């Protein structure tokens, strides 16, 4: 009998994370809510500085105190609110139930420890494997991520591996304890273009094979289109649009999403066509007003936008938009296609 | 890597030779011709004649130099010009173990205090513990080593009578007597060294804690102790090793002074006494030994570097 | 021959970068503010000022003649003799006050000489390069392998004791730091655009060194100078303590400690106070030097050197 799912694997509700700086409180994450189901791939898209990495660190409990603080909200993982757990309890879940892949493979591995050591640590710590068992599993994992001569590589040090290989090692480390959720923060941004595709394919393949949910954080729309089931568009600490990849791409309903899509050069459009960048600068996160945060740069704005912050509205079929003018945005998209 | 080792060792030997040569020529440049004075001291003309021939004193400088080098390589450093004309090599071989004992014990005590202190100061940055450690470090660096020695003597030897103020007992006569005589000197000699190392470790740890790979280690859910001791500390120690080399030289310099305060007949005391007595063969020998110690400590530190940092090992 | 306007513009730019510009005035003001805010450095500055005044006004401040052996011997600190007397009946406070003068004088003079020679060597080696650089740096590296204090000991062994020899020995021993730092700075500054521009306009080597390179290299040299003064004072104290320093007639702190050394079991004040004077001096210099270094770091990171 099929049980109806009462809750998703992973639910974030109204998460707010802040940093205390000499110039004021930076609201890096200002109330985001989303869910991730088992085995699903959800993308969080946005420019640098919009708060996507901070939201990932918040999930893992890696926000440095006292400089920063999670100011509110809840993060439910398999029913448990992570924000209510003690440090020790979260530590036990890190690497075991959820894991993270970071952006910079060149600096993410410890230069004085062997690859083997760095992979087997989690297995020994969380699963209680012996050194030999852990090494064996590490070798298997390296093979799974496509590294040849896995046994030999285990004894090597990070500086002996290329950037792409190091990222594969990171993936292996993340998968080692077979977590339910992996968060990948810009996993391919620091890699060569040719390697990027390989790594992404690898991640897609492995997450499907192990039924791991994946949150992929990126500013690269191309990545999102191919690999994500659902997409959350983030701007200045808030989500502005949420939906399936298809919905976002073919029918964006927020000016920012539209702006992002239009500013990406496309091979299938004529070269003479001009790129339309988004005007203006990202906002100062210490000085956010009452209205829509995107309003100053928005070409669809009306007076209401500066006065009232638009809430996230369900516009049907699991597609959400936080814009008073979403109908106009939709119209523009239809007109152009 | 082996090519590097050989190159460094060779370079160390060359430097030793250069220093020896400098010592030779500089001591002979001293006004007042101490070697003539040396002969004069001998009194007995026959012995004087023998000495003169042995060291080639009547011959041109460069021949003296060659003769001297020859003697040196055979381990003959000449004899003290005083008293019973004890061979310098004997003086040095008796003195060396004392200096080494003192240096090693100082080093050991200093490191035992400095490393944990530096680590704690780093993980509790800006706390009361951190600030007081920094202040102690400043004090340790600003205090003249011989003054600290005197203070220790006043408190622990003169007033409390817990520990002796002077002398040295070879370890063959018992570990505790040997230790007892070396505790105060080691503390006095090791304090400045300890301060330098502690500060260095603190700043190095602070750098390491900020790195990506430590954040990754945290994200893997490893225990705090593991992250600190297995992931952070080895990386933090790498720059410290360079400092240890320089700081150890300072430690040796301090040892020279401390030996004099505590009347420990090590190389330092031999050297200073030799200078005060104008006992040039002794001075020559002592300077050479001290120099060799420095040169080869530097070499050791360079080699240690290759062992610790895998990036250098597997070039 | 027309000067290129680009070169002219760069030279004007360099003038703004050079320490000889109006920026000079605000630099000292900035530095003053930094010191005032850092409590330790400020305390250090006050102590040093007091010491310097003591040194200059010694004959006026000292209660007794430092060499007069007329008083009760081995007296502990009392109202009459605030720091006690030594075994020859001399007042310790007076001796320490007079010692301030000589110890500070030696400390500053030796560093001044060392700096002059070391900086010249560094600039010449760095600027001209080639075999000159090679020879100079071979020697500097050799000296650098040994602690400065040990070199000073060696030199005293060769020259003999006495205040003049001591000064020469310490000055020479501390050369290596200045030479190395200066050469490093010169090599960095040499690559700057304004130096090439100046050379393109035909400035002589001397002019370039004096007007462009040296002013911009002063920051680390000043920091090194403060460090060296503290080490020089410690070195002089140690050498005098060992009997390798000044003659018995000139009371420096190190010498006073040496004289009192045999009596410390009965007269602790003879061991404590002279050393305390040394420590306070060195500590103050270190605090100041630290603040100075922080200040220079901040300015450097802002591109102002």
Q: Tell me, what's the ipTM?
A: 0.86
Q: Which two tokens stand for residue C205?
A: 């080597």
Q: What's the confidence (pLDDT) of residue A137?
A: 92
Q: What's the confidence (pLDDT) of residue A2?
A: 40
User: Averaged over C25-51, what is the pLDDT?
Assistant: 78
Q: Is a pLDDT exceeding 70 seen at residue C8? A: no
Q: Kindly list the domain boundaries of chain A, sorted by start residue.
A: 1-86+229-337
CA distance A218 to A232: 11
Please answer whether residues A63 and A70 qualify as being in contact, where contact means their C-beta atoms are separated by less than 8 angstroms. yes
Please answer whether residues C273 and C92 qualify as being in contact, where contact means their C-beta atoms are separated by less than 8 angstroms. yes
User: Averaged over C102-119, what is the pLDDT?
Assistant: 93
**Residues of chain B neighbouring A104 (CB-CB closer than 8 A):** 212
Tell me which residue of C305, C256, C208, C280 sits closest to C92, measured CA to CA: C256
Q: For chain C, what percent of residues have pLDDT higher than 90?
A: 20
Q: Which residue of A has its CA nearest to B236?
A: A112
CA distance A140 to C97: 77
Q: What's the confidence (pLDDT) of residue A172?
A: 93
How high is the mean pLDDT of chain C? 82
Residue with tokens 């704005």: A301
Tell me which residue of A318, A260, A256 sits closest to A292, measured CA to CA: A256
Count CB pairs under 8 A between chains A and B.
76
CA distance B107 to B129: 23
Tell me which residue of A53, A57, A85 sits closest to A69, measured CA to CA: A57
Please answer whether residues C278 and C103 qualify as being in contact, where contact means their C-beta atoms are separated by less than 8 angstroms. yes
Q: C74 pLDDT band (50/70/90 cuts)?
A: confident
The answer to whether residue C255 neighbours chain B at the CB level (below 8 Å) is no
Q: Which of residues 145-184 of A touch B (CB under 8 A)?
A: 157, 159-160, 170, 173
Q: What is the CATH number of domain A1-86+229-337?
A: 3.40.50.300
Of residues B37 and C22, more confidently modeled: B37
Which of C142, C243, C283 lies nearest to residue B276, judging by beta carbons? C243
Q: B258 pLDDT band (50/70/90 cuts)?
A: very high
How high is the mean pLDDT of chain B? 82
Contact A108 B218 (CB under 8 A): no
User: Averaged over A107-133, what is the pLDDT?
Assistant: 92
Q: What's the confidence (pLDDT) of residue C22?
A: 43
Whether C and A touch (3+ CB pairs < 8 Å), yes or no: no
Q: What's the confidence (pLDDT) of residue B107?
A: 92
Q: How far is B219 from chain A (nearest CA, A)?
A: 6
The answer to whether residue C270 neighbours chain B at the CB level (below 8 Å) is no
Q: Which residue of C has its CA nearest to B145?
A: C238
Residue C287: strand, helix, or coil = helix
CA distance C9 to C27: 24
Q: B5 pLDDT band (50/70/90 cuts)?
A: confident
Tell me which residue of A190, A253, A192, A257 sits closest to A224, measured CA to CA: A257
Q: For chain A, what percent of residues have pLDDT higher than 90?
A: 28
CA distance B27 to C57: 41
Q: Is a pLDDT exceeding 50 seen at residue C301? A: yes
Q: Is a pLDDT exceeding 50 seen at residue A1? A: no
Question: pTM for the full model?
Answer: 0.80
**Residues of chain A neighbouring B220 (CB-CB closer than 8 A):** 94-95, 99, 121-122, 125, 173
Q: Is a pLDDT exceeding 50 seen at residue B183? A: yes
Q: What's the confidence (pLDDT) of residue C27?
A: 65
Contact B222 A111 (CB under 8 A): no
Which of B215, B221, B230 lies nearest to residue A91, judging by beta carbons? B221
Q: Is a pLDDT exceeding 90 seen at residue A135? A: yes
pLDDT tens-digit series, residues B128-179 = 888 889 889 989 988 999 999 999 988 888 888 877 777 777 777 778 888 8
Q: Which residue of B has its CA nearest to A87?
A: B221
Q: B112 pLDDT band (50/70/90 cuts)?
A: very high
- Is the four-CA dihedral C89, C92, C97, C103 of positive or negative sign? positive
Please answer whether residues C16 and C197 qualify as being in contact, where contact means their C-beta atoms are separated by less than 8 angstroms. no
User: Averaged over B224-249, what is the pLDDT?
Assistant: 87
Chains in touch with A (3+ beta-carbon pairs under 8 Å) read B
Chains in touch with C (3+ beta-carbon pairs under 8 Å) read B
**Residues of chain A neighbouring B218 (CB-CB closer than 8 A):** 62, 94
Q: What's the confidence (pLDDT) of residue A292?
A: 82
Q: B49 pLDDT band (50/70/90 cuts)?
A: low
**Residues of chain A neighbouring B230 (CB-CB closer than 8 A):** 113
Q: How far is A77 from chain B (nearest CA, A)?
A: 16
Where b means 16+ CB within 10 Å and e means fewer, B6-35 reads eebeeebeebbeebbeebbebbbeeeeebb
Contact B165 C265 (CB under 8 A): yes
Contact B151 C150 (CB under 8 A): no
Q: Which residue of A has its CA nearest to B219?
A: A94
Q: SS in 3 state form for C141-163?
A: HHHHCCCHHHHHHHHHHHHCCCH
Q: How far is B220 from chain C (nearest CA, A)?
A: 35
Contact B150 C257 (CB under 8 A): yes
pLDDT tens-digit series, residues A59-112 = 988 888 778 888 888 898 888 888 888 989 999 999 899 899 998 899 999 999
pLDDT tens-digit series, residues A325-334 = 888 888 877 7
Q: What's the confidence (pLDDT) of residue B53?
A: 63
- Would you call C23 exposed, middle or buried from its count of C-beta atoms within 10 A (0-12, 13-18, 19+)? middle
Q: Which domains, from first to last, does chain C contain?
A: 34-66+78-301 (1.10.3720.10)
Contact A94 B223 (CB under 8 A): no
Q: Which of B37-51, B178-192, C208-222 has the highest mean pLDDT?
A: B178-192
Q: What's the confidence (pLDDT) of residue C19?
A: 43
Q: Is a pLDDT exceeding 70 seen at residue B58? A: no
Q: What's the confidence (pLDDT) of residue C206?
A: 79
Q: Which residue of C has its CA nearest to B141?
A: C283
User: Averaged over B115-130, what is the pLDDT?
Assistant: 88
Query: Which of A49-53, A190-194, B38-42, B102-106 bottoms out in mean pLDDT, i.e. has the lowest?
Result: B38-42
DSSP-derived secondary structure for A66-133: TTEEEEEEEEEETTEEGGGS-HHHHHHHBTTTEEEE-S-HHHHS-TTS-HHHHHHHHHHHHH---HHH
Q: How far is B144 from chain C (nearest CA, A)?
A: 6
CA distance A102 to A191: 12
Q: What's the confidence (pLDDT) of residue B220?
A: 93
Of residues C244 and C208, more confidently modeled: C244
User: Averaged over B2-29, what is the pLDDT?
Assistant: 80
Where b means 16+ CB within 10 Å and e means fewer, C72-85 reads eebbebeeebebbb
**Residues of chain B neighbouring C244 (CB-CB closer than 8 A):** 272, 275-276
DSSP-derived secondary structure for C251-286: --HHHHHHHHGGGTTT-HHHHHHHHHHHHHHHHHHH
Of residues B243 and B234, more confidently modeled: B234
Q: What's the confidence (pLDDT) of residue C20?
A: 44
Please answer whether residues B185 and B268 qualify as being in contact, where contact means their C-beta atoms are separated by less than 8 angstroms. no
């Amino acid at each position: 009998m099929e049980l109806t799912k009462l809750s998703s694997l992973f639910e974030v509700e109204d998460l707010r994370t802040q940093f205390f700086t000499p110039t004021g409180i930076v609201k890096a994450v200002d109330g985001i809510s989303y869910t991730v189901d088992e085995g699903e791939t959800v993308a969080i898209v946005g420019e640098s500085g919009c708060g996507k990495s901070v939201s990932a660190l918040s999930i893992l409990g890696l926000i440095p105190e006292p400089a920063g603080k999670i100011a509110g909200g809840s993060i439910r993982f398999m029913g448990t609110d992570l924000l209510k757990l003690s440090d020790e309890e979260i530590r036990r879940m890190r690497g075991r139930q959820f894991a993270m892949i970071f952006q910079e493979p060149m600096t993410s591995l410890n230069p004085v420890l062997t690859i083997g050591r760095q992979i087997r640590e989690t297995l020994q710590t969380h699963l209680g494997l012996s050194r030999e068992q852990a090494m064996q599993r590490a070798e298997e994992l390296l093979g799974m991520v496509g590294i040849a001569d896995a046994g030999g590589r285990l004894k090597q040090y990070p500086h002996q591996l290329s950037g792409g290989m190091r990222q594969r090692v990171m993936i292996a480390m993340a998968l080692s304890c077979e977590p339910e959720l992996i968060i990948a923060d810009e996993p391919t941004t620091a890699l060569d273009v040719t390697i990027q595709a390989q790594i992404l394919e690898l991640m897609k393949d492995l997450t499907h094979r192990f039924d791991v949910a994946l949150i992929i954080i990126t500013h690269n729309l191309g990545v999102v289109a191919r690999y994500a089931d659902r997409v959350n568009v983030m701007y200045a600490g808030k989500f502005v649009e949420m939906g399936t990849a298809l919905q976002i791409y073919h029918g964006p309903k927020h000016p920012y999403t539209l702006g992002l899509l239009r500013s990406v050069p496309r091979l299938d459009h004529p070269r003479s066509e001009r790129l339309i960048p988004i005007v203006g600068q990202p906002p100062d996160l210490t000085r956010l007003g009452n209205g829509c945060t995107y309003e100053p740069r928005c070409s669809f704005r009306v007076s209401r936008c500066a006065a009232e912050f638009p809430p996230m509205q369900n516009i049907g079929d699991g597609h959400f938009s936080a814009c008073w003018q979403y109908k106009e945005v939709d119209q523009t998209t239809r007109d152009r296609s | 890597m082996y090519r590097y080792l050989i190159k460094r060792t060779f370079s160390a030997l060359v430097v030793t030779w250069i220093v020896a040569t400098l010592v030779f020529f500089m001591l002979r440049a001293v006004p007042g011709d101490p070697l003539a004075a040396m002969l004069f001291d001998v009194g007995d003309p026959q012995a004087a004649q023998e000495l003169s021939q042995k060291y080639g004193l009547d011959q041109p400088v460069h021949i003296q130099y060659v003769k001297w080098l020859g003697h040196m390589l055979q381990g003959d450093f000449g004899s003290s010009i005083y008293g019973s004309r004890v061979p310098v090599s004997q003086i040095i071989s008796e003195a060396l173990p004392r200096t080494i004992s003192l240096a090693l014990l100082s080093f050991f005590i200093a490191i035992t205090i400095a490393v944990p202190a530096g680590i704690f100061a780093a993980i509790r940055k800006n706390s009361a513990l951190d600030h007081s450690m920094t202040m102690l470090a400043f004090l340790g660096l600003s205090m003249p080593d011989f003054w600290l020695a005197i203070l220790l003597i006043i408190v622990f030897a003169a007033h409390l009578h817990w520990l002796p103020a002077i002398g040295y007992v070879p370890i063959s006569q018992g570990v505790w007597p040997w230790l007892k005589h070396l505790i105060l000197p080691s503390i006095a000699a090791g304090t400045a060294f300890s301060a330098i190392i502690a500060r260095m470790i603190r700043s190095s740890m602070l750098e390491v804690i900020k790195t990506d790979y430590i954040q990754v280690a945290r994200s893997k859910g490893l225990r705090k102790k593991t992250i600190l001791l297995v992931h952070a500390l080895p990386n933090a120690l790498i720059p410290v090793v360079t400092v240890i080399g320089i700081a150890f030289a300072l430690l040796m310099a301090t040892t020279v002074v401390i030996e004099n305060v505590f009347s420990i007949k090590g190389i330092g005391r031999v050297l200073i006494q030799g200078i005060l007595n104008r006992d040039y063969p002794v001075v020559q020998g002592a300077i050479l030994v001290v120099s060799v110690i420095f040169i080869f400590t530097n070499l050791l530190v360079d080699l240690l570097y290759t062992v610790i940092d895998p990036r250098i090992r597997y070039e | 021959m027309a000067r290129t306007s680009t070169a002219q513009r760069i030279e004007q730019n360099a003038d703004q970068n050079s320490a000889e510009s109006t920026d000079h005035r605000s630099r000292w003001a900035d530095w003053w503010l930094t010191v005032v805010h850092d409590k330790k450095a400020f305390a250090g500055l006050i102590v040093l000022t007091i010491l310097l005044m003591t040194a200059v006004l010694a004959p006026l401040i000292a209660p007794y003649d430092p060499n007069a052996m007329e008083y009760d011997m081995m007296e502990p600190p009392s109202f009459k003799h605030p720091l006690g007397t030594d075994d020859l009946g001399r007042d310790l406070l007076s001796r320490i006050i007079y010692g301030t003068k000589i110890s500070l004088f030696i400390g500053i003079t030796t560093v001044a000489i060392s700096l002059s020679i070391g900086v010249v060597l560094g600039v010449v080696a760095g600027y001209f390069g080639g075999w000159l650089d090679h020879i100079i740096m071979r020697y500097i590296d050799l000296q650098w392998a040994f602690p400065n204090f040990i070199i000073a000991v060696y030199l005293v062994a060769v020259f003999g004791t006495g205040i003049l020899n001591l000064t020469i020995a310490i000055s020479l021993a501390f050369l290596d730091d200045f030479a190395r730092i200066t050469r490093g700075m010169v090599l960095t500054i040499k690559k700057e655009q304004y130096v090439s521009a100046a050379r393109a306009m035909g400035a002589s080597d001397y002019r370039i060194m004096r007007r462009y390179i040296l002013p911009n290299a002063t920051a680390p040299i000043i920091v090194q100078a403060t460090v060296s003064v503290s080490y020089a004072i410690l070195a002089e104290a140690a050498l005098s303590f060992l009997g390798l320093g000044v003659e018995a007639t000139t009371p420096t702190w190190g010498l006073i400690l040496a004289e009192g050394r045999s009596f410390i079991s009965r007269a602790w004040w003879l061991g404590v106070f002279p050393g305390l004077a040394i420590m306070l001096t060195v500590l103050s210099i270190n605090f100041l030097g630290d603040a100075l270094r922080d200040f220079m770091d901040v300015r450097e990171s802002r591109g102002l050197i």
